[in-house]
Structure 1
């Protein structure tokens, strides 16, 4: 039922009522309404709301407009039908009585035309209202989606910050600050190392490294007995404030970062050493 509730709150039912969905999604909504009573009930409620909105905002034509239509359809009072007589000789010619009073037909035609005009005006107003409603609903759905994305992003950042805080408070972790080399004097970062559990993490909240291009990445190395050991790659650009877990290692005397081709290298490029820090 949670999935059905999410489906109903997604905004797709409103777009279905407004006819703003592709054909395959229209069929999908109809199938969901046929299968789930909650979807069908919500769909009916939305349709009733849109119809009520249109009715409450309908505009009747003014009395001045009605008078103009009747004046445009005015006939001459002396209008009458001319009798048509068959030219062939017949024994008796039926007597044709001219119709002197055309008021009934005249006003009936005028009334019909007026009703047609009113219908077209009402349809135009209804269409305009529906278009405005569609735009308002679309804007509302966009705003809701942006708000939802923002909430999810902040929730993610909060969880990452809580995790980082728990690691920083854990006495089993050693915080090693790596300072920039001559290749990047302003660079710095913090590596959290837990030798008891062989855990190595990078603190992105404290990461200050030069931006990389699309063909290069930073690679973290551990120096174990004078030999470099690969701990994985990472990028300088990130929207995270948490910790990035790297490859496990039991012991190390120092950590270093080099700039390598994207994906990493089997051995460090020493002339591209960016930062280094001893334990």
Structure 2
């Protein structure tokens, strides 16, 4: 937190008002020692409270000039101090309470403004995400409708017969779009790995792992593929992937129509 944010937080007003815990007082004191700007702000706050207190006073019962006149007089130098004025003290106390209340009110207002700013930022972020998701969805629709895109369904295999996926292969851009919505959540410590396959002889080439499978809501992945693929498969592998597919954990498989 920079100096401006620290001052705007209102903690200095609470420090002057004596509303902080002992630990918080120590932290503020240490911050003041390190930053002269905070000391200036503290003095400004104290001055404002003194001005509020002074505003509550009525008539000053004596002055320094009165005392000076008595000292210069030839009569016995007996200086009569005014008797305590309980109404005056109550006025000062009321002024101090008023000042503290105003400070707390300003602090609460600042906190509310900060909360509203945070909520506004979060809302804007959600709107941006929604806009980006819509743009991505529209782009995918255009891709899937392209007549030159090859669609390859991947059927479930022995280890998971109900699993399914689909590959959309764009040979012009050497990339595939994998719709993996039909795969179950992988167990902890496991990850799905995508393979490009040549069938004769069977030669697998890894296209990478789906590391963001759990966090990706749409389960659609864009993957580079410059291979002359004859089939695609998805296996479940240890985190980090494998050099060759674990066939016992082959979840889906599909061949490219000739």
TM-score bucket of the superposed structures, by smaller chain: 0.5 to 0.7
Tell me the equivalent position of 1:151: 127
Judged with a 3 Å threshold, the aligned counterparts in structure 2 of structure 1 residues 261 and 246 are, in CA distance, closer, same or farther, namely same
- Runs of 4 or more above 6 Å deviation: 12-15, 94-97
Report the counterpart of residue 215 of structure 1 in structure 2. 189
Q: Deviations over 1:206-252 (max 9, x none)?
A: x1211113421111112213321211110431334374222322422
Whether 2:174 is the aligned partner of 1:176: answer no
TM-score after normalising by structure 1: 0.59
Match of residue 223, structure 2, among 235, 246, 253:
246
Match for residue 122 of structure 1? 98
- The separation in 2 between residues aligned to 1:15 and 1:147, in whole angstroms, is 25
Q: How many residues align?
A: 197
1:188 aligns with 2:164: yes
Matched, 1:265 2:234: no
Whole-angstrom distance in 1 between the partners of 2:85 and 2:148: 95
TM-score computed with the length of structure 2 as normaliser: 0.64
Structure (1 or 2) with the greater strand fraction: 2
Matched residue SS, 2:214: coil
Cα distance, 1:252–1:96 mapped onto 2, change above 3 Å: closer
Match of 2:68 in 1: none
Q: CA RMSD in A?
A: 3.6
Mapped to 1, the partners of 2:177 and 2:155 lie a distance apart of 16
Provide structure 2 residue ranges, at least 5 long, that are not aligned to the other structure.
13-27, 38-47, 57-74
Query: Residues 201 and 16 of structure 1: is their aligned pair in 2 closer, same or farther, counting only changes over 3 Å?
Result: farther
| Compared CA separation, residues 256 and 118, structure 1 to 2 (3 A) | same
* 1:210 partner SS: coil
Q: What runs of 5+ residues in structure 1 fail to find an aligned partner? A: 1-11, 31-50, 56-60, 62-93
Q: CA deviation at 1:135?
A: 3.2
Instruction: Indicate the SS of the match to 1:244.
Output: strand
Q: Pick from 200, 205, 221: which aligns with 2:176? A: 200
Aligned to 2:89: 113
